A and B are shown apart, each in its own frame.
Chain A
Amino acid sequence: MILVLTFLAGAVGAVARFVADAELRRRLLPNGPWATVVINVSGSLVLGALAAWAHRSASGESALAILGTGFCGGYTTFSTASYETMRLIEQRRYTVAALSGAGGLVLAVAASLLGWAAVAAS
């Protein structure tokens, strides 16, 4: 049951990413890889908090599977982030490529650490 719910949550996460990406591009971040960065950073924040919860108590295990592996996993994406950075490298826009590739990673890890620390300290 948890398995099916996890897959379904991943499907919903993918749709959430698709809609969020289009809306972010339409309203705030029309150009470049930044919509993907925002999606990956926000999903990492949530997963960091879920992982800390599951680490502390067994009751967090199912939530981690469904909301973490499922939703956050389907919502965030590595392949698109990598593709967008590669395209920037091809266009010789090295500064933006470095900002999105390295900066995106640092921000996502920082967000996850923040989510983890917030739950671990509570």
Chain B
Amino acid sequence: MSTESARPPHLRATALALVLVGGFCGTAARDLLQKAFPHNATGVPWATFGINLAGAFALGVLLEGLARTGGDPGRRRRLRLLAGTGFCGAFTTYSSLATDTVQLWEVGHRTTAGIAYAAGTVLAGLVCTWLGLMVASRTARGGAR
């Protein structure tokens, strides 16, 4: 028995490395997109809005797809850690959602816009997650035919 396999999963070097690499790429993609579509504190951060929705859709596709694909559980787990926990997790952001809302209030004095942005992101995010789950389950069913 190696010490590596005796550790709980979240403390194994391979798992941590996969999340690290996915998290690096997810953060890079988010930061570059936010810089390509900048917003000021009084405006709605549409880049972050789009990033969160796209990431929610992608995670839905990934997790439902992995749940429906058979095969090597080790490989599925590695893909989940790299693309799901790492990339989608770091690509999307909840702290910016909350803080951009606060800035719309505190700096922009746009109370209604802040509430609409925050609530709109969460509701649209649920729709995107649901769409992702649907796409993956239909694709898996079609492929099994």
Contacts and interface: CB of A to CB of B under 8 A. Distances in A.
Contact of B98 (A18, A19, A77, A108): A108
A18 B12 CA distance: 12
A76 B94 contact: yes
A112 B89 contact: no
Interface string A61-82: 0000000111011111111111
A86 B22 contact: no
Interface in A66-112: 68-70, 72-83, 85-86, 89, 101-102, 105, 108-109, 111-112
A34 B56 CA distance: 18
A112 B21 CA distance: 28
Contact of A77 (B20, B41, B94, B103): B94
Interface string B24-62: 101110110010000001000000000010011011100
Contact of A10 (B28, B102, B130): B28
Contacts of A3: 31
Contacts of B81: 18
B13 to A, nearest CB: 11
A51 B23 contact: no
The A contact surface, by secondary structure, is helix
Interface string B104-144: 01110000000000110110011011100100000000000
A72 B91 CA distance: 11
Contacts of A79: 52, 55-56, 58-59, 88-89, 91-92, 125, 129
Contacts of A82: 52, 56, 59, 122, 125-126, 128-129
22 contacts: A7-B31, A10-B23, A11-B24, A14-B90, A18-B19, A18-B81, A21-B10, A47-B98, A47-B99, A68-B95, A69-B96, A73-B96, A75-B95, A77-B90, A77-B94, A80-B59, A82-B128, A83-B63, A85-B126, A86-B129, A86-B130, A116-B106
Given A73-B90, A79-B52, A105-B98, 5 more contacts: A23-B10, A76-B94, A89-B126, A112-B98, A113-B102
Interface of B: 8-11, 15-16, 19-24, 26-28, 30-31, 34, 41, 52, 55-56, 58-60, 63, 81, 85-86, 88-99, 101-103, 105-107, 118-119, 121-122, 125-126, 128-130, 133
The 7 closest A-B pairs by CB, nearest first: A10-B27, A14-B23, A22-B10, A78-B92, A11-B24, A44-B98, A47-B95
